Amino acid sequence: MDQSVCNSVPYSETGYFSQLVLDFLAEHPHIRSFYTHPPLHADLDALIHAKKAQPLQRDVLVMALQAQYAGLEVHDAVKENIRLLEQPGTFSICTAHQPNIFTGYLYFVYKILQTVKLAADFKQQRPQYNFVPVYYMGSEDNDLDELGSIYLNGKTLTWPTTQAGAVGRMRPEGLEELIVQIESLLGYGKHAEELVQLLRNAYGQHDDIQKATLYLVNALFGRFGLVVLIPDTPLFKKQYIPVMKEELLHQTSYKLVSDTIEKISQHYKVQANPREINLFYLTDNSRERIVKEGEQWKVLHSNIAFTATQLEEELYNHPERFSPNVILRGMLQETILPNIAFIGGGGEIAYWLELQALFAHYRVPYPMLVMRNSFLLVDAVSRKWLQNLGLCIKDLFGNVNELVNNFVLQRTNASLVLKKEYDALEQLFDELEAKARSIDVTLVSSVGAERQKAIKSIGRLEHKFLRAEKKKFAWQTDQIRQLRDKLFPANSLQERKENFMPWYIHEGSALFDRILANMQPLSDQLQIIYEQDNKELLP
């Protein structure tokens, strides 16, 4: 029997999604021209037709993936999907994310599972084709402040490393200490021991973070056929040489994206601004911008410099040393993969909307952009509290002080809103104003000033009445605040703060099945999943 019930809240009613995202999903005229395919209704035939026309090096893709998976215990579903990628009738559904330690935020799990679900849905709609879910690892990201921390049971754990450069290339030294802390914070759970051992296997038996992340993600999601792709390899970067060469010599992307940004900025905040050169120079311990100064190309914060001839030689001999930033990353992904749909969060969607002209310039098909699913996991205790309070989870969205006030106002026997008193006061001062006007018109302003003082006095009394009445509902209002803090940590969506592990230690991989069962991959609704024993108890 299904132990979860899922309701939903439109993104537009949560208060947690930008206007750009809402307009993107609604296909608002202000934003519709910046993307090719509607976000909630997949035109599969058009997507497949466009991708079929693109030259792809499928044999290189399969060769690189097989090399990356060498030495791992690979699920049969993954082996089969890698094999299928070489066939012209196979297409990918892709999401991208950096290799945050211990998977980072809860929404990472949602993005992964959404690729699985959407691939399965597309297969059902077009059984003559194959659709492979792919996690494209952004392992060249060097934002250690973002990637090197997780939030667990109210505490932030940070990796104390002094390493620099691409996080994916960093050695996982010092993470064992964090795993010990994780084990203590998680406490007892049926699957806690196996999860902690999985973390130790991932970070204790691999040379760098990207290999550790590959191992971990494969162990968690391999049974779904998820293929993990690490782009930090010469086999993939070699295919991107023509684009990188034009970027270095002619700075093509800067003008194309800047023109698009100028139009987007008329209505929305710009997510990512292009550089004149949108490539980094990558070594084992650094990732620095490339800039052109006169007739030389220099790597910032280093002594490395190239002439045009030297730069071209370096690019052809070592393409892996050139790393695209956010402006060029997506097109590398779409160059090496037979991809038709990209699943991203609000920030990712925002910067992809800047890139359509760039894709057109290089004749790379622009994929369907899919907003990642959002969920709120409500545990059994929280669900019971909601029931006892007579609240629906939707009530917790918004300002908690307003919720508490409304809760008391709706349940008190006292008349806390002094509407009659306000009306009587207004009537009294209307009469006083009329009398003042008949005596001396200059007295009207004095009456007005006294009116405002009286209104403020009643307002203060009203506030005191409400505050006194709240004391009678102290345990209920405390529970409301505790619920709010628990389900919306740091006044944020749960998925943007929490990690998947507190749920996993109790459910194991069944957690992923529960999420998949409630997943609607093309949606503009935040899904709410309740853990419960009896459906009749749903608030």
Nearest to 75 by CA among 228, 226, 214, 222: 222
For residue 279, is it within any domain?
A: no
DSSP state of 274: P
Residue 76 lies in a domain: no
Asked whether 83 and 193 are in contact (CB, 8 A), the reply is no
**pLDDT 10s per residue in the chain (539 long)?**
333 344 899 999 999 999 999 999 999 999 999 999 999 999 999 999 999 999 999 999 999 999 999 999 999 999 999 999 999 999 999 999 999 999 999 999 999 999 999 999 999 999 999 999 999 999 999 999 999 999 999 999 999 999 999 999 999 999 999 999 999 999 999 999 999 999 999 999 999 999 999 999 999 999 999 999 999 999 999 999 999 999 999 999 999 999 999 999 999 999 999 999 999 999 999 999 999 999 999 999 999 999 999 999 999 999 999 999 999 999 999 999 999 999 999 999 999 999 999 999 999 999 999 999 999 999 999 988 888 888 888 889 988 888 877 776 676 644 445 566 667 677 888 888 888 888 888 888 887 888 888 778 776 766 676 665 656 567 778 888 889 999 999 999 999 999 999 999 999 999 999 999 999 999 999 999 998 544 433 43
DSSP state of 276: S
Q: Which residues contact 516 (CB under 8 A, 6 or more apart)?
A: 113, 116, 117
What is the span of the domain harbouring residue 413? 399-491
Instruction: Quickly tell me which residue has 């939030």 as its tokens.
Output: 151
Give the amino acid at 245. Answer: K
- Counting the structural domains of the chain, the total is 1
Cα-to-chain-centroid distance, residue 298? 34
Is residue 462, in this structure, part of any structural domain at all? yes
Give the closest residue to 194 by CA, choosing from 226, 172, 216: 216
Is residue 482 included in any domain, yes or no?
yes
Q: Is residue 454 part of a domain?
A: yes
Asked if the structure places residue 36 within a domain, the reply is no
**How far is residue 469's CA from residue 473's CA, in Å, rounded to a whole number?**
7
Q: Got the DSSP string for 199-255?
A: HHHHHHSSSSHHHHHHHHHHHHHGGGTPEEE---SHHHHGGGHHHHHHHHHH-HHHH
425 CB-near residues (< 8 Å, 6+ apart): 451, 454, 455, 458
Closest by Cα among 1, 108, 24, 150 to 374: 108
Q: Domain for residue 438, yes or no?
A: yes
In a domain, 420, yes or no: yes
The two tokens of residue 224 are: 């779904």
